[in-house]
Structure 1
């Protein structure tokens, strides 16, 4: 799943969660936590796997329910104890990332879908080609761009775009959370 897919999936999860537990849409702070937490597993594991070769692939400790899972349980316990919707939003957004990776792999009929989140017990097979971090990222992005440019994939592209349009509409319906932080930063910058 691409970063924007993780962000969209995580935002939907957190929007639903804040409505159920707080009776409101996400706050600016919670929206910022969604942005950070949905990307965190890849920001940790991709450089460690692709750049430093600590993992055979880009999936490791930060994606693992065996490693990240217990840490998220600690944050969840804090969220419950302090009644912190922000901490709960962080847990939901972070957990949506490995869940999204597994769901995406299952939709692609990938038999190793669960291996993505079971490091160090299970690991995906190593890549067939050695590439550095930047080269691997560019390789995946070029393959993605080629898929999008394929005229036979227009229906899939329309479905893909409609999902993001729906999430964008939800974000607007929620009051565009996160933009308040940008307005505040702009005001502070103008005062200087």
Structure 2
């Protein structure tokens, strides 16, 4: 899944959760936590695998449930101790949602779900490891993506992509507009 898609999924989920569970709109700290959390697994795995060759692949440590679940729980706990529980939840939720989003993203392009990426080191890492060539590896993936989405078969995917991004943008606009009007806490008035 691409970074903008992960951020959209994370923000939609956190915005809806915060509106329904705690009747609050996400604030700026939660927005940054969603951004960092939703990109977290890739910010760990891609540079360390593709750039430095420290990890065995682009889907390894950061995408592993053995790392992700304790990290998310720790983020929630530390944030709660600091009086910023909602920020920890925003980070933890968006980090954890990154994982199933990657697992099922392969299905969109006709492949089976990639459950194996969740269980590194018990399952070999996927996603290539080219030491010192982070940009080339990212460009290779993006070129393949562009080739896939410029075919007539990609129209349903592109419609779904547009709906995902439009939903995230709409919720962000609504949340931001409410904060500018001086209503950061209440979701209705």
TM score, norm. by length of structure 1: 0.79
Per the alignment, do residues 151 and 71 of structure 1 end up closer, same or farther by CA in structure 2, a change over 3 Å counting? closer
Residues 137, 16 of structure 1: CA spacing in aligned structure 2 closer, same or farther, 3 A cutoff?
same
Q: Does 1:38 align with 2:38?
A: yes
Distance 2:104 2:127 in 1: 21
Q: Considering only aligned residues, what root-mean-square deviation do their CA atoms show, in Å?
A: 2.8
Q: 1:174, CA displacement in angstroms?
A: 2.1
Shift of 1:118: 1.0
CA contact (8 A) 1:22 1:85 kept: no
1:170 CA displacement: 1.9
Distance 2:130 2:46 in 1: 16
Question: 2:168 is matched with which residue?
Answer: 167
Q: Distance in 2 between matches of 1:110 and 1:56?
A: 22
Distance (Å, rounded) in 1 between the aligned partners of 2:114 and 2:98: 13
Q: Give secondary structure in 2 for the equivalent of 1:38.
A: helix
How far 1:89 sits from its partner (Å)?
1.0
* Partner SS, residue 175 of structure 1: helix
| Aligned pairs for 1:1-192 within 5 A | 1-78=1-78, 82=83, 84-108=85-109, 110-111=111-112, 113-125=114-126, 127=128, 132-175=133-176
Would you say how many aligned residue pairs link Structure 1 and Structure 2? 179
Per the alignment, in what secondary structure is the counterpart of residue 65 of structure 2? coil
More displaced stretch, 128-137 vs 15-24: 128-137
Which range is displaced more, 48-57 or 37-46? 48-57
CA distance in 1, matches of 2:4, 2:114: 20
CA separation of 1:124/1:60 partners in 2, compared to 1, >3 Å: closer, same or farther?
closer
After the TM superposition, list the runs of 4 or more consecutive aligned residues in structure 1 that deviate by more than 6 angstroms: 128-131
Instruction: Report the CA distance between 1:74 and its aligned residue.
Output: 2.2
CA shift for structure 1 position 150: 2.5
CA distance in 1, matches of 2:9, 2:2: 11
Q: Which one is further off, 69-78 or 128-137?
A: 128-137
Does the Cα contact within 8 Å between 2:50 and 2:128 map onto a contact in 1?
no
Q: CA deviation at 1:62?
A: 1.4
